[in-house]
């Protein structure tokens, strides 16, 4: 028995060590190490905020020269693989061989860490999520991209070409990289049919197997989960007038918190680490939870009876872009890499590896990698319009006069989990 | 060459004639380390906690204020402090109760080859990764885990369920209950309690205990009036470890427990994407104050008299 | 004579080591009893058996008529003064002395009064508030004594209590202890390796060797009539005459013992080669070889003192040559 545990955990830790930081899942916005970057982050935030609102004036390069021999990339753990974790997943080696640009990867566990690293300098590229991207644009940490220098730009999913998280004031600040929904995962033993509403994780009720859902559902352990509650209310309580789950006025915000307080009563654990959640679905008898496709894939690969769905309310999600440092030392290799992200096996294989959706639709079908049309559908490719991609809530929001800013989301979500 | 050796000789002569100079030279590096690296960062932390965050823009205002400390007393934040202190106290008391017999046995009866075996046994958990230990415990405590299985095999599930039905300390399963967090804390920090206790118990002469018994003290009286006071410095040292380690930990409650925050997690959350460094710093100051208070109390109670 | 402490056939073995080997002992009430022997002879183990810190491997122990095996130390009517005093460092002198009363549940006021009285008795009345670490060795020794006596034990066990004191203090304490025992009238069992101490203080002495009692008797018995060469050698520096020599004098082939002070210079007797001379003040000790046997004699003040390498005649009274029939 004991040996078995040890074995299982060695397997898991391998994942942990290889894929992630101390506690981060393969990719999530809040992970990271404590105190490590207090000063860095504070500098980052200050820079980001103090430069906000200034007009941009950046010069783009107009032609790609000789490769500089290397390119330095800040990336989410698991985003840049060279076959070391699993042999089949390698999208760096071919690039290095064909361009002679050596790829140096620095992984970052949080958006803050990414911003901080970019502020420090010395990096050329970053795989930024929606919250970090606009901060860096505002802080002039990244430069506009000349899409004419990226031949494969035309293959990018039209829905992403001018996405607001990288397209600012008619300029492209990033090349779409990967996106994914936060799906509803459920146990197929409890649910013979996919649940149609997020209700099963928000309200106390009996599940189809006749047992109450209390204790058997989970929720994401990050303030951004307030947006999931807002998304639910957007559908069920239209009188609140929520337009974006990331832009909430005081009343809408209070309603979302009330819903979350109700949820607290039925949630046994708020999940933070992808591998802990995987374990919970194996060993804790979990019935349903919001999650990333990544966990669904790993659990199914382990023959755990789970499936996922995007219920009627739609879902929140994340979308990342490759962005280039304003003072990149290796612009030529950087452009070559951006082209590589779109044209190589990267889009296809990474979407399999990560359970995410490629930014290039053809990657699902043209056999450049392992991904298939069915795989993309399973990852939520067709649900793009139902996904509310996450951005940092700020007080000066577009849809209404003032919104509740993110730092209050943090303290209030802590209070909700604490039972307040 | 000659000049060099002459110079060395004159240096050592000077140092010999002025021993204070030698002491000063020796003490300089640790003093610099303590003064600049250690205290410096501590003061940087303290300074941050006296700033505040602007309610509307979320920008840190670099003006000295106690507003951020006031925030600590907001019910949701104060909950976190109370929860952490209660947990740290429970873990410390639990570790002392469990650790004492172990330490006593080791100090009194483990002789010869048993001594290294004891040290091995106590230290072994420290060799394996902290994360492996915590994750293993998650498996042990899980709804479908070993402990539950044992209770089921003994037809005692009703007992476990009755326990889990108790509010605050119970929950859906042990691994998502405060009890689970407590057990894992206890396991992980126990060696830090046992080793100093063992060291201090070893220093209590055996004749002290015999003298006490000889004077008519029953074993529990001997424990209460002689052994405990004499072992107290070790217990205090151990409790400083377990108490402060529990106060600061942010990994265990994240993996095992009810997701309710502890101070470490709050620091982590506030300094992260929230960007509320002042509040994070104020939270980080709480354990420092608590430990200072604890040491002061221990000193007042005479915990260090037998040193 | 009522028996205070009786050991019958008591042994204490640690594996193959026989620390105490089949001892019979009967200590009378009110007696000052000394257990004398070299280190490792089993005297301290015997004391610990009486106190209850050790259990006998076999044999019976009676304390004031009651079977003591199975009775824990805290229920025995005896108290111990430890070799290292074992004062509690975290308590002040008064609380140390009052410890036995405290664990017995005596109220604070009453036990402090008794403790102060006991401290007065050992002339430390003013030291009650001090910590043991602030006292000198002799003062600690008295505190340990007061701490044991305040409980009114039926017997007091003392484990080399004077061993850590310097010579002058030791002599002073010897007298005080003796006086104390006389005034209290309780049984004292005293362990020592110092034969002078044992002989000067005790009513009776048991001489231990290799876990056994070699001889029990009054100091005079032990001193003048040692039962074996070991006792003669260990108790005072007796001359042990080998059987051959004794045979040549008396015709009986046994060991004989002869006190140094019984030997005197004489016109006729035995030829002796002087090997060393030491001036001791009241007397002079002279070492010599008599028929190849090393002997010493004590010459009183005023006697003629021979020189080293002199050959002199020495003699003794036949009645002073004590024959030892034990091996």
**CATH value at residue C257:** 2.40.50.140
Whether C199 and C251 map to the same domain: the answer is no
Whether C175 and C258 map to the same domain: the answer is no
Burial class for C279, CB neighbours closer than 10 Å (0-12, 13-18, 19+): exposed
Whether C210 and C244 map to the same domain: the answer is no
Q: Which one, of A178, A153, A96, lies nearest residue A338 by Cα?
A: A153
Show which of residues 200-239 on chain A sit within 8 Å of chain B, judged by CB atoms.
Answer: 214-216, 221, 223
Whether C308 and C226 map to the same domain: the answer is no
Q: Which domain-ending residue is among C231, C249, C276?
A: C231
Q: DSSP per residue over C189-253, as a string?
A: EEEES-HHHHHHH-SEEEEEETTEEEEEE-HHHHHHS-SSHHHHHHSS-PEEEPHHHHHHHHS--
Residue B306 contacts C where some CB pair is shorter than 8 Å: yes
At B302 the pLDDT is 66
Show which of residues 275-294 on chain A sit within 8 Å of chain B, judged by CB atoms.
Answer: 276, 279-280, 282-285
Burial class for A13, CB neighbours closer than 10 Å (0-12, 13-18, 19+): middle
ipTM given for this complex: 0.82
pLDDT at A393 exceeding the cut of 90: no
Chain A and chain B touch, per 3+ beta carbon pairs within 8 A = yes
Query: Average pLDDT of A41-50?
Result: 38
Q: Which domain-ending residue is among C231, C257, C284?
A: C231
pLDDT at A14 exceeding the cut of 60: no
Query: Average pLDDT of A80-94?
Result: 87
Chain C and chain B touch, per 3+ beta carbon pairs within 8 A = yes
Whether C203 and C248 map to the same domain: the answer is no
Show which of residues 378-397 on chain A sit within 8 Å of chain B, judged by CB atoms.
Answer: 392, 394-395
pTM over 0.80: no
- Hey, are the CB atoms on C100 and B216 less than 8 Å from each other? yes
Sign of the alpha-carbon dihedral angle for C40, C41, C44, C48: positive
Show which of residues 113-142 on chain C sit within 8 Å of chain B, judged by CB atoms.
Answer: none
Overall number of domains in chain C? 2
User: How far, in Å, are A4, B174, B269, B285, C1 from residue B154 at the CA level?
Assistant: 22, 17, 42, 47, 65
Whether C260 and C301 map to the same domain: the answer is yes
| Closest residue of chain A to B146, computed from CA coordinates | A1
Whether C261 and C166 map to the same domain: the answer is no
Residue A57 contacts B where some CB pair is shorter than 8 Å: no
Whether C185 and C316 map to the same domain: the answer is no
Its domain, for residue C244, covers: 239-324
At B93 the pLDDT is 95
- Which one of B42, B142, B150, B259 makes the best mutation probe of the A interface by having the most chain A beta carbons within 10 Å? B259
- Cα–Cα distance for residue pair A255/A273, rounded to 1 Å: 27
Chain C and chain A touch, per 3+ beta carbon pairs within 8 A = no
- Hey, are the CB atoms on B139 and A285 less than 8 Å from each other? no
Whether C33 and C76 map to the same domain: the answer is yes
> Shortest Cα distance from B189 to chain A (angstroms)?
20
- Which one of C52, C86, C115 makes the best mutation probe of the B interface by having the most chain B beta carbons within 10 Å? C86
Whether C40 and C119 map to the same domain: the answer is yes
Residues of chain C with pLDDT under 50: none
Show residues of chain B in contact with C88, CB under 8 Å.
208, 211-212, 226, 229-230
User: Could you give the 3-state DSSP secondary structure of residue A325?
Assistant: strand
Whether C35 and C165 map to the same domain: the answer is yes
**pLDDT tens-digit series, residues A227-255:** 999 999 999 999 999 999 999 999 999 99
- Cα–Cα distance for residue pair A306/A288, rounded to 1 Å: 9
> Shortest Cα distance from C46 to chain B (angstroms)?
15
Show residues of chain B in contact with C78, CB under 8 Å.
214
Residue A313 contacts B where some CB pair is shorter than 8 Å: no
Helices vs. strands in chain C: H and E counts, helices first? 10, 17
Whether C190 and C291 map to the same domain: the answer is no
Q: Which domain-ending residue is among C210, C231, C252?
A: C231
**CATH classification of the domain holding C75:** 3.40.50.300
Show residues of chain A in contact with B270, CB under 8 Å.
410-411
> Cβ contacts of residue A293 below 8 Å, gap of 6+?
A180, A181, A183, A308, A354, A355, A356, A378, A379, A380
- Cα–Cα distance for residue pair A410/C271, rounded to 1 Å: 109
pLDDT at A20 exceeding the cut of 50: no
At B275 the pLDDT is 67
- Which one of B111, B211, B228, B232 makes the best mutation probe of the C interface by having the most chain C beta carbons within 10 Å? B211
Per-residue pLDDT of chain B (307 residues; tens, 9 = 90+): 567 777 888 888 887 888 788 888 888 888 888 888 888 888 888 888 888 877 655 667 788 888 889 888 988 889 999 999 999 999 999 999 999 999 998 888 877 788 888 888 888 878 888 888 888 888 898 888 888 889 989 988 888 888 888 888 888 888 889 999 999 999 999 999 999 999 889 888 888 999 999 999 999 999 999 998 888 888 888 998 899 999 989 889 988 888 888 998 888 878 765 667 888 899 989 998 999 998 888 888 766 665 5
- Which region among A88-92, A379-383, C211-215 has the lowest average model confidence (pLDDT)? A379-383
Residue C82 contacts B where some CB pair is shorter than 8 Å: yes
Residues above pLDDT 70, as percent of chain A: 85
């Amino acid at each position: 028995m004991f040996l078995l545990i040890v074995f299982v955990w060695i397997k898991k830790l391998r994942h942990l060590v290889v894929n992630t930081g101390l506690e981060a899942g393969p990719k999530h916005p809040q992970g990271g190490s404590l105190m490590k970057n207090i000063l860095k982050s504070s500098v980052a935030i200050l820079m980001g905020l103090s430069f906000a609102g200034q007009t941009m004036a950046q010069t783009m390069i107009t032609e790609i020269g000789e490769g500089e021999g290397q390119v330095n990339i800040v990336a989410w753990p698991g985003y840049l693989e060279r076959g070391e974790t699993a042999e089949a997943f390698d999208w760096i080696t071919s690039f290095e061989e064909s361009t002679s640009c050596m790829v140096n990867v620095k992984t970052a566990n949080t958006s803050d860490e990414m911003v901080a690293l970019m502020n420090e300098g010395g990096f050329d590229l970053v795989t930024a999520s929606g919250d970090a991207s606009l901060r860096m644009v505002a802080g002039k940490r990244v430069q506009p991209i000349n899409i004419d220098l990226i031949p494969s730009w035309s293959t990018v999913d039209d829905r992403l070409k001018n996405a607001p998280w990288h397209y600012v004031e008619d300029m492209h600040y990033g090349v779409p990289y990967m996106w994914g929904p936060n799906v509803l995962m459920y146990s197929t033993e409890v649910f013979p049919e996919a649940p149609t509403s997020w209700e099963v994780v928000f309200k106390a009720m009996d599940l189809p197997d006749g047992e109450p859902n209390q204790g058997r559902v989970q929720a994401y352990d990050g303030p951004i989960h307030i947006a999931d509650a807002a998304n639910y209310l957007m559908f069920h309580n239209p009188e609140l007038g929520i337009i974006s789950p990331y832009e909430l006025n005081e009343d809408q915000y209070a309603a979302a918190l009330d819903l979350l307080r109700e949820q607290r009563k039925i949630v046994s654990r708020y999940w933070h680490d992808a591998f802990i959640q995987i374990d919970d679905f194996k060993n804790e008898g979990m019935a349903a939870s919001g999650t990333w496709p990544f966990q669904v894939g790993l659990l199914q690969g382990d023959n755990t009876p789970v499936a996922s769905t995007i219920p009627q309310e739609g879902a929140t999600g994340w979308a990342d872009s490759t962005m280039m440092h304003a003072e990149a030392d290796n612009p030529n290799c950087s452009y070559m890499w951006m082209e590589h992200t779109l044209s190589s096996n990267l889009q296809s294989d990474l979407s399999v590896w990560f359970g995410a959706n490629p930014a290039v639709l053809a990657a699902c079908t043209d056999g450049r990698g392992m991904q298939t049309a069915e795989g993309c559908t399973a990852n939520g490719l067709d649900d793009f319009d139902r996904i509310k991609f996450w951005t940092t809530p700020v007080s000066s929001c577009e849809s209404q006069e003032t919104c509740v800013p993110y730092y209050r989301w943090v303290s209030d979500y802590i209070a909700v989990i604490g039972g307040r | 060459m000659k000049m060099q050796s002459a110079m060395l000789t004159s240096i050592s002569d000077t140092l010999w004639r002025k021993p204070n100079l030698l002491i000063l030279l020796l003490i300089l590096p640790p003093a610099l380390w303590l003064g600049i690296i250690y205290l410096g960062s501590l003061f940087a932390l303290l300074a941050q906690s006296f700033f505040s965050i602007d309610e509307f823009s979320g920008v840190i205002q670099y003006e000295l204020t106690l507003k951020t400390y006031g925030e600590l007393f907001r019910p949701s934040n104060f909950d976190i402090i109370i929860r952490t202190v209660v947990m740290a106290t429970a873990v410390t008391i639990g570790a002392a109760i469990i650790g004492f017999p172990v330490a006593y046995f080791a100090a009194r009866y483990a002789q010869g080859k048993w001594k290294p075996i004891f040290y091995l046994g106590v230290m072994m958990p420290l060799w394996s990764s902290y994360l492996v230990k915590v994750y293993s415990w998650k498996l042990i405590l899980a709804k479908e885990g070993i402990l539950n299985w044992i209770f089921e095999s003994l037809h005692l599930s009703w007992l476990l369920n009755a326990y889990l039905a108790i509010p605050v300390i119970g929950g859906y399963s042990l691994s998502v209950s405060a009890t689970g967090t407590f057990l894992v804390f206890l396991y992980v920090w126990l060696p830090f309690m046992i080793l100093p206790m063992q060291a201090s118990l070893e220093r209590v002469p055996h004749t002290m205990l015999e003298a006490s018994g000889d004077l008519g003290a029953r074993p529990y009286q001997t424990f209460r009036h002689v052994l405990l006071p004499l072992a107290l410095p070790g217990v205090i040292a151990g409790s400083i470890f377990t108490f402060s380690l529990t106060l600061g930990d942010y990994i265990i409650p994240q993996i095992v427990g009810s997701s309710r925050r502890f101070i470490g997690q709050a620091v982590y959350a506030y300094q992260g994407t929230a960007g509320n460094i002042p509040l994070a710093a104020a939270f980080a100051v709480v354990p420092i104050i608590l430990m200072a208070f604890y040491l002061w109390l221990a000193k007042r109670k005479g915990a260090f008299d037998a040193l | 004579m009522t028996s205070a402490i009786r050991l019958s056939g008591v042994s204490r073995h640690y594996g193959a080591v026989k620390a105490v080997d089949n001892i019979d002992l009967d200590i009378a009430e009110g007696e000052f009893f000394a257990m004398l022997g070299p280190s490792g002879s089993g005297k301290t183990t015997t004391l610990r058996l009486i106190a209850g810190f050790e259990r006998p491997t076999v044999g019976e122990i009676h304390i004031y008529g009651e079977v003591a095996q199975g009775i824990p130390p805290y229920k025995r009517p005896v108290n111990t003064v430890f070799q290292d005093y074992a004062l509690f460092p975290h308590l002040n002198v008064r609380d140390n002395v009052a410890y036995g009363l405290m664990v017995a549940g005596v109220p604070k006021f009453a036990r402090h009064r008794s403790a102060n009285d006991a401290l007065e008795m050992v002339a430390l009345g003013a030291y009650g508030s001090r910590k043991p670490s602030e006292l000198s060795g002799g003062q600690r020794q008295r505190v340990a004594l007061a701490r044991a006596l305040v409980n009114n034990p039926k017997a007091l066990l003392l484990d080399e209590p004077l061993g850590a004191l310097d010579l002058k203090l030791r002599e002073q304490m010897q007298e005080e202890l003796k006086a104390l025992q006389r005034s209290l009238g309780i049984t004292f069992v005293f362990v020592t390796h110092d034969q002078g101490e044992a002989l000067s203080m005790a009513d009776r002495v048991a001489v231990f060797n290799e876990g056994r009692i070699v001889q029990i008797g009054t100091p005079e018995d032990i001193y003048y009539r040692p039962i074996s060469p070991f006792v003669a050698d260990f108790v005072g520096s007796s001359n042990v005459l080998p059987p051959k020599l004794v045979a040549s004098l008396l015709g009986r082939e046994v060991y004989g013992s002869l006190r140094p002070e019984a030997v005197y210079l004489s016109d006729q007797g035995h030829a002796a080669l002087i090997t060393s001379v030491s001036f001791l003040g009241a007397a002079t000790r002279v070492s010599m070889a008599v028929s190849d046997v090393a002997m010493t004699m004590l010459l009183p003040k005023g006697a003629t003192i021979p020189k080293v390498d002199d050959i002199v005649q020495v003699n003794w009274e036949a009645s002073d040559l004590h024959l030892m029939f034990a091996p």
